[in-house]
Amino acid sequence: MGSSWRCAWTRWSPPSTRSAEVRPGDLAGGGGSAAGPVLTRLSAGAGRIELCAGLVEGGTTPSMGLLQVVKQCVRVPVFVMIRPRGGDFLYSDREVEVMKADIRLAKLHGADGLVFGALTEDGRIDTELCTALLAVCRPLPVTFHRAFDMVHDPLVALETLISLGFERVLTSGCDSSALEGLSLIKRLAEQAKGRIVVVPGGGITERNLQRILEGSTASEFHCSARSARDSGMKFRNPNVAMGASFSAPEYSIKVADVAKVRTLNAIAKNIL
């Protein structure tokens, strides 16, 4: 599925923070020996990186090897996704143990923050589980990810996250993209009144960023600035794929696009 990072632009960090997702084999953007320079250029326009794997599944916990390499190459904060699998956000006891173990390992290997989300079967924030996970995360800051977009009542859920102590919530406004959910994102930001940072995310590109920032009054945003590059493989077996039928093409690799990062950063600087 591949590993990745995302970045964000804010008023406080570098003028913007956004999300760019990269597979570990693509950190070099080609040969495999230039990961450092590429990562440095990528992070130059971002105020924060969200590190994850399994992009096809919406993001899962990355390897600690990836975290170590990224931490060696960038100066911006790196927030690590804690999500043991794709699918829903209702977790078993064993999955919770995995999440706690991953949090401890991420802290050990230099994570600057954590990102997770958990819901009850009726679509509410799982306050009991979130409280337990937040305790393991301390003293690091924590973002509640787009599990928020699956809640039964987003306005009530926002107050729950505030009371639990989350610093940020990532949301597309409970819609297919941040642009489609713009009105709810704005309403959430107004309700938050600075008690939590509401971060638009989902389908943000250089074509719609200005409209989303101006329409939501958000001070940060989150997106995936990626483009596809062809695999370096000369021999190819067209009859075999390493993933399910919905996975990305076997010989097309999604990589972070530095040019897109710079374009998004320039747009954000004029607004934030």
Bridge partners, residue 51, by sequence: 5, 80
* pLDDT reading at 211 higher than 90: yes
Q: Where are the alpha helices (DSSP H) in the chain?
A: 35-43, 64-73, 93-108, 127-137, 154-164, 182-192, 209-216, 258-269
State residue 229's pLDDT score: 76
**pLDDT value at residue 228:** 75
Query: 61-65, 70-74, 84-88: which has the minimum mean pLDDT?
Result: 70-74
- Rounded percentage of the chain residues whose pLDDT exceeds 90: 51
More confident residue, 130 or 225: 130
Mean pLDDT of 219-233: 81
pLDDT, the chain, mean: 82
Residue 34 banded pLDDT, cuts 50, 70, 90: very low
Q: What architecture is domain 3-144+220-234+241-269?
A: Alpha-Beta Barrel (3.20)
End-to-end CA distance of the chain: 34
Segment 159-184, tens digit of pLDDT? 999 999 999 999 999 999 999 999 99
Rg (CA), the chain: 18
- pLDDT-based confidence at 218, cuts 50/70/90? confident
pLDDT in tens, 92-135: 999 999 999 999 999 999 999 999 999 999 999 999 999 999 99
Domains of the chain, residue spans: 3-144+220-234+241-269
Q: pLDDT above 70 covers what percent of the chain?
A: 77
pLDDT average, residue stretch 191-197: 96
Question: What integer pLDDT is reported at residue 21 of this predicted model?
Answer: 30
